[in-house]
Amino acid sequence: GSELPPPPRGLDFEPVPPNTEDAVRVPSGYSSDVVIRWGDPVLDGAPAWDFSNQNAEAQEQQFGYNNDFAGLLPIEGSPNDHLLVVSHEYTNEPAMFPGYDEENPTEEQVRTAWAAHGISVVKVRGNAGDGRLVPAGSEYNRRLTVTSEFRLVGPAAGSDLVRTSADPSGTIVRGTLNNCAGGVTPWGTILSGEENFNQYFGNSDQVAEEPAATRLARYGMPEGASRRAWERFDSRFDVPSEPNEPNRFGYIVEINPWDPASTPVKHTAMGRFKHEGATIHVTDDGSVIAYMGDDERFDYIYKFVSAKKIQQGNGAAAMRHNMTILDEGTLYVARFDGNSPASEIDGSGSLPGDGAFDGTGTWIPLLRATADGAESLIDGFTADEVAVFTRLAADEAGATKMDRPEDIEASPRTGKVYCALTNNSRRGVDDNPRVDEANPRNENKNGQIIEITDDHTGTSLTWNLLLVCGDPATADTYYGGFDKEQVSPISCPDNVAFDPDGNLWISTDGNALGANDGLFSVVLDGPRRGETRQFLSVPVGAETCGPIITENRYIVCVQHPGELDDATIENPASHWPEGGDAQPRSAVVVAWKA
């Protein structure tokens, strides 16, 4: 309407319309470019990428597959230079290797896939004239893979639950798996979530004794062979052979990208589940809160509250201290209580009588880790068990079963916390949990965004749904109260980020409305609250992740272009980014105002 103030700074772009183009589209007046793609050189001397001639030795030196998280860290004293840290969530072998035989992968293919997972650190340089970022220099560059060394820290380190024949100490883990979203810490490190780690382990059905079998099932470990058959080439991926190996994955890992020789850590005090990621909020008194989602249907939102305070400065002593902050503190899981009568939450998605999906909530403590040891706060669980089988402890606590908690982050401006609940096709179906006010739609195809006003170090919260995503023309959607005729449709929110002015940005994965995924801005305050505009769309079959919004750049990871059920190497669904008849390649993209 005419009484509306102008959109916030930077949010006056002409929205990209929903589309199915095999391209990255940005608003008119903006440009975009690929920063780095699967197979590009990362380490000095890396061989050129050759699709028909891949091998592990080359991939270990090249940018990995399926980029997801991206973090951008300025390099002090070198204003155009940054470290770009990117996770490589998973491999899709049939789209990766010509002639791949799913029944009989070769050892070289398996080892190449190990090398294509993990994390890349790449130094990039900005252009003075435009927003382009190009790889520049290698002194910080690094690849972490499924075989790199990680140190297990916190309450579960050294426990009987994580000891293996290769590591009787229970403190040294080879590799990181399924690194999804993450966060940049205020002390200059990177947090990365080990998400769907279960899929890499085979033959869990051969473990029948309890409590092992129940624990394996709660974490969704595959029965029979794993899809990639890694267990044929390394017995640690065979659950009956090495039953504790899976207990060494599913953590938040922390990487110091400033020291390529440093050993990254896995923080067991932050619990073990399908960690989407973790982001940090620091209170005025220096306490550190990590917000985390467990991306599974009917799983939970967590937070970790540190016992230690952050140390300012970026010297070696401060870094050493700050990298232990996430080892001592309290792990909580969230319960959300609605304030409308249950009869008004009918699963249709229409608003209850008070006009809002909202209410109060409680953080239920699970585990307290201190320098002298850890204490379980859940009856029937030891501290080690809470750290390693966190989902089962949270079940006992009576946490609220959510519609797939993905990325969660506190606004740097207001401290309010936003979590993407991506979708839940099983809500209300068969014996699955019914709707509640925070998860108000049956067979939820489009997801929602929950806004939490948190007593960060405390246990109370209030909440409301900012967006109930989906087709704005239907009654089961809500766009923060904004006029739904004036918004871009958004579906399946996955990652959240904030621009320097505190506006929310959301990237999507799996758009259920028939168009490609994309990146959207959302106004949070004032009369335009809920106004959602699509800034960017990604190519066919891709998801949008890793968004970073700076003063002059919009960075996204374009993950799995061309990943459609009927796509093959002979008949790819996408040719992005090279075009022509090229194979699709996941890549990091930067956009800027021309």
Point out which residues bind ligand FEO (CB under 6 A).
89, 180, 195, 276, 295, 406, 494
Beta bridge partners, 155, equal: none
Tokens 């970026």 belong to which residue?
Answer: 314
Query: Contact letters (x/-) for Ca ion, 472-511, by CB under 5 A?
Result: ----------------------x--------------x--
Q: Establish if 358 lies at the interface with Ca ion (CB under 5 A).
A: yes
Amino acid at site 289: I
Q: Choosing among ligand FEO, Ca ion, none, which partner's interface includes residue 358 (Cβ < 5 to 8 Å by kind)?
A: Ca ion
Nearer Cβ to Ca ion, position 299 or 494? 494
Task: Count the site residues for Ca ion by CB under 5 A.
Answer: 10
Q: Which of 147, 339, 350, 457 binds Ca ion (CB under 5 A)?
A: 339
Nearer Cβ to ligand FEO, position 66 or 306? 66
- Residue 532 CA to residue 377 CA, distance in Å, equals 41
Nearer Cβ to ligand FEO, position 33 or 406? 406
Q: Choosing among Ca ion, ligand FEO, none, which partner's interface includes residue 43 (Cβ < 5 to 8 Å by kind)?
A: none
- Residue 387 CA to residue 22 CA, distance in Å, equals 43
Distance between terminal CA atoms of the chain?
A: 29
- Residue 34 CA to residue 575 CA, distance in Å, equals 14
Q: Choosing among Ca ion, ligand FEO, none, which partner's interface includes residue 384 (Cβ < 5 to 8 Å by kind)?
A: none
| Contact predicate 36/554, CB 8 Å | no
Angle subtended at Cα 144 by Cα 549 and Cα 309, rounded to the nearest 5 degrees: 60
Nearer Cβ to Ca ion, position 275 or 456? 275
Q: Choosing among Ca ion, ligand FEO, none, which partner's interface includes residue 339 (Cβ < 5 to 8 Å by kind)?
A: Ca ion
Q: Choosing among ligand FEO, Ca ion, none, which partner's interface includes residue 354 (Cβ < 5 to 8 Å by kind)?
A: Ca ion
Tokens 């061309």 belong to which residue?
Answer: 562
Quote the least distance from Cβ 80 to Ca ion, whole Å: 30
Quote the least distance from Cβ 1 to ligand FEO, whole Å: 37
DSSP letters, 156-223, are TTT-GGG--SS-TTS-EEE----EEEEEE-TTS-EEEEE-SGGGG-B-GGG--STTHHHHHHHTTPPS
Quote the least distance from Cβ 158 to ligand FEO, whole Å: 29
Q: Choosing among ligand FEO, Ca ion, none, which partner's interface includes residue 403 (Cβ < 5 to 8 Å by kind)?
A: none
Helices first, then strands: H and E counts in the chain: 7, 32
Q: Establish if 354 lies at the interface with Ca ion (CB under 5 A).
A: yes
Quote the least distance from Cβ 585 to Ca ion, whole Å: 18
Phi, then psi, of 335 in degrees rounded to 5: -115, 130
Query: Contact letters (x/-) for Ca ion, 172-211, by CB under 5 A?
Result: --------xx------------------------------
| Contact predicate 459/368, CB 8 Å | no
